[in-house]
Structure 1
Amino acid sequence: MATTRIMPLHAGKGRTVGKAISDIIDYVKNPDKTDHGRLITSYQCDSRVADAQFLLDKQTYAARTGRVRGADDVIAYHLRQSFVPGEISPEEANRLGVELARRFTKGKHAFIVCTHIDKAHVHNHIIWNSTTLECDRKFRNFWGSTRAVHRLSDTICIENGYSIVEAPKRRGQSYNKWLGDTAKPSHKEQLRQSIDRALAQKPASLEELLHLLEQEGFTVHRRGKTISVSAEGWGNNVRFDRLGDGYTLDDLLAVLSGQKVHTPRKLTAVQAASPKVNLLVDIQDKLKAGKGAGYARWAKVFNLKQMAQTLNYLSEHGLLDYTDLETKTAEATARYNALSGKIKAAEKRMAEIAVLRTHIINYAKTRETYVAYRKAGYSRKFYAEHENEIRLHQAAKEAFNELNMKKLPTIKELQTEYAQLLADKKTAYGEYRQARAAMRELLTVKNNVDRVLAMEQTEPQQKEKDYGQR
């Protein structure tokens, strides 16, 4: 589950543009929060001199366009993306942050992503330059950008199997509508669908209808004439009189008495084509944790359903032999790991290409300045006047030395390689999502089978112990 917030950055009073940029970048790059810099990823810039590059791009923009903004000019944008504690690893959070920044800026702005692990929840700080890579335009914080970036973040989380905020409080269009078909049904919609299924069984009374809902895992609450329903994981109860036309208590009583025909409401959310296999609930552990008898009744029904779905899965896929299940699970896990490694290798090389391309461009841009700096005898005064250009040139030379490059590749060669890697990554990513889903399903099924087998082995031993005590 991720939340996001966009914060435009201004120079402010008493600070130069360069100081403002370096302050925010120094904060997000804090080695104590980013595992000594391991969780920092840059795009089209070098994180070590990102402040100098951002400032040089702004100077180039002003020189090319002649547009100079006042003190209210936005110098960069700061996006914060937070994840629910314990759901995602720092490395995966960093990868999703890079994906969010790249897609939101359409790859036209340099940015850095710093993943902080100093809090209970992992969170990303994303800083992107307001000036484009071509130095001819600026990013404008358009109307609705906060909602757009939240929507994109949710989409990326769903694509990668992570949870989202199901009922954010906001004005205007409802969350489920603007998120689209990928949204999960709301609690009210889930209850309406369960009522539809219960009425299809022709219950004779309201008590029988409520009993059918309890069998689906709901808990019924009565307070006077008001009836409400809750379920595991819901924060609040849902009252029948708030379900809309056709689902109020009066409507349901009219249907049960034969005075009215029930017409299921047109679904506003996409339902899964077939029920997924979920992990069995450890009822004893839940009871020790403080759950009551009502939860135990729900969990028993839930486990029975999951055991039936597990058996259906095994039958449909011809995995009734445990050895076959183990082999299939191992193969699915190996395929997932192979695709994951392929994608990570491509992403690593793409990041290297982006940084190398930036250094080559910066090297060419600042070469004349650095030559003049040498001719000036490495003058301190000259350095102070051209600090950003000199820092970028020195960083580029250091990068070339680290890579032991005797001949620099052309920008065209790098762009060709980058485009091929991107195409390969997109192809592999489609297979990766399918492999991940298959692996998760097989691991869940195998876990359920192992649980059942362990229970069967324990029961005979318990019976023998009880018999011996008699």
Structure 2
Amino acid sequence: KFRNFWNSSFAIRRVSDRICLEHGLSIVKNPKLRSKGKFKNYGEWLGDNKPPTFQERLRAQIDAALLQKPADFTAFLSLMEAAGYEVKQGRRGSLSFRAPGQERFTRCRASTLGEGYGPEDIRAVIEGRAPLPSSRAAGPVKQGRKLNLIIDIQTRLQGKGPAYERWAKVFNLKQMAAALAYLQDNGLTEYEQLEKKAEQATEHFHTLAGKIKTVEAALATNTELKGATVNYAKTRSVFEAYKAARYSRKYLAEHEAEIEIYRAARATMSAILDGAKLPKMDRLKEEGRKLAAEKKELYAEYREARREMREVTTAKANIDYLLGLTGQEKNKEQER
């Protein structure tokens, strides 16, 4: 029996959170009151994590089915049924789909799903008379959404409930659509093009990483040489006096620290210069500034290359998963 008491809502919230955690559902940690900050409705709070609508899921599944290159329209409908969709064909060539858990059918037509999603448009793509329009791949994917790897649901279900399975299926649909959007945006119509782009992006990333290591090593050497030069200049007079005193033990005891710094500076300079002439300090400073500027430029290019490499390799991995080109199956496909 519910008993209304002071701050009973907080007690109910604690019970609700505990039940949600036990069943693998999400909770809102430390929710802000209206008076404590800007209030967000549920849709705003979800943001990019908002689950796709049935229409978005249907568009993504149509794209995924067409990507498998069905032989004819009947094979396309079979792929949709295999994905769990119920197919209904009406009079005059009308076509509707219903996803698991959906109450009503969704008509497959341009006015409902968007341009290029009518039955005739799908037939044109299957027959090769029309390519996949960019709106198909980009439709269900929001700009700026990160492209992640598709989850192998079966290997992760142990110890997790049906809520996780539902979330994972929706997540995979989003990532399949994102992968298709990436292919379409970059004009990658063949698998070999995607594979080549992934190799080039990876090679470019590793090349930049090697350049950065080289520049960082040169910058560290430059800094070390400048420090050794400064220490040498500061302690040279002390060591000259030590020599003039004919290496007196008394003088050494009084200036041992300065003499050790001098000797360490000489050893560092000898190791770095390897018999070459010591450059002037102005030249060392100018070289250090150039190396620092080059490092900054390389890091900007490196971050962009890393983002591009992650994006294309993730898209390729998702396409491989979608086409079943993983492990030995991929090797067999390449041999064919």
TM range, normalised to the smaller chain?
Answer: 0.5 to 0.7
Distance 1:343 1:380, change over 3 A: same
> Matches of 1:422 and 1:391 in 2, distance apart?
30
Unaligned runs of at least 5 residues, structure 2: 1-10, 48-141, 330-336
Give, in whole Å, the separation in 2 of the partners of 1:340 and 1:458.
31
Paired amino acid for 2:187: G
Shift of 1:223: 5.2
Structure with more of its chain in helix, by fraction: 2
1:240 Cα deviation after fit: 9.6
Please name the residue that 1:330 is paired with: 199
1:278 and 2:68 aligned: no
Whether 1:430 aligns to 2:300 is: yes
Amino acid at match of 1:330: E
User: Please, what TM-score do these two structures have when normalized by structure 2?
Assistant: 0.56
Counterpart Cα distance in 2 of 1:300 and 1:282? 10
Q: Paired residue for 1:39?
A: none
Of the structure 1 ranges 236-245 and 335-344, higher mean CA displacement relative to structure 2 is found in: 236-245
Work out whether residues 245 and 251 of structure 2, in 8 Å CA contact, stay in contact via their aligned partners in 1: yes
The AA in structure 2 aligned to 1:412 is D
With CA pairs under 8 Å and 6+ residues apart, which has the higher RCO, 1 or 2?
Answer: 2
Amino acid at match of 1:376: A
Residue 348 (structure 1) shift: 1.0
| 1:309 positional shift | 1.1
Deviations 1:346-393 (A, max 9, x none): 111111011101111111111111122223333333223212211111
The residue number in structure 2 matching 1:25 is none
- For residues 248-292 of structure 1, the C-alpha deviation after alignment (integer angstroms, 9 at most, x for no partner) is 9xx98xxxxxxxxx9x69x9xxxx84212111112222123x223
Aligned-pair CA distance for 1:458: 9.9
Q: Identify the residue that residue 376 of structure 1 maps to in structure 2.
A: 245
Classify 1:273/1:308 alpha carbon distance in 2 versus 1 (closer, same or farther; 3 Å): closer
3-state secondary structure, aligned to 2:243: helix
Distance 2:29 2:229 in 1: 64
Looking at secondary structure, tell me which structure has more strand per residue.
Answer: 1
For the 8 Å contact 2:25–2:163, the answer to whether it is kept is no
What's 1:357 paired with? Answer: 226
| Percent identity between the two aligned chains | 41
Q: Which residue of 1 aligns with 2:322?
A: 452
What is the SS of the residue equivalent to 1:238? coil
Shift of 1:400: 2.5
Partner of 1:420: 290
TM superposition shift of 1:230? 7.1
In structure 2, what residue type is equivalent to 1:385? E
Cα RMSD for the two superposed structures: 3.6
Q: Distance in 2 between matches of 1:434 and 1:389?
A: 47
CA distance in 1: counterparts of 2:13 and 2:227, whole angstroms: 70
Select the residue among 23, 28, 42 that pairs with 1:238.
28
The structure-2 alpha-carbon separation of the partners of 1:339 and 1:230, relative to structure 1 and needing over 3 Å to count, comes to: farther
Judging changes above 3 Å, is the alpha-carbon distance between structure 1 residues 325 and 377 closer, same or farther for their aligned structure 2 residues? Answer: same
Greater Cα offset, 375-384 or 391-400: 375-384
List gaps (5 residues or longer) in structure 1.
1-221, 253-261, 460-470
Amino acid at match of 1:417: E
Task: Please tell me whether the aligned partners of residues 205 and 305 of structure 2 are also in contact (alpha carbons under 8 angstroms).
Answer: yes
Aligned to 1:317: 186
Larger radius of gyration: 2
- Write the letter of the residue equivalent to 1:420: K
Instruction: Choose from 243, 246, 255 the match for 1:386.
Output: 255
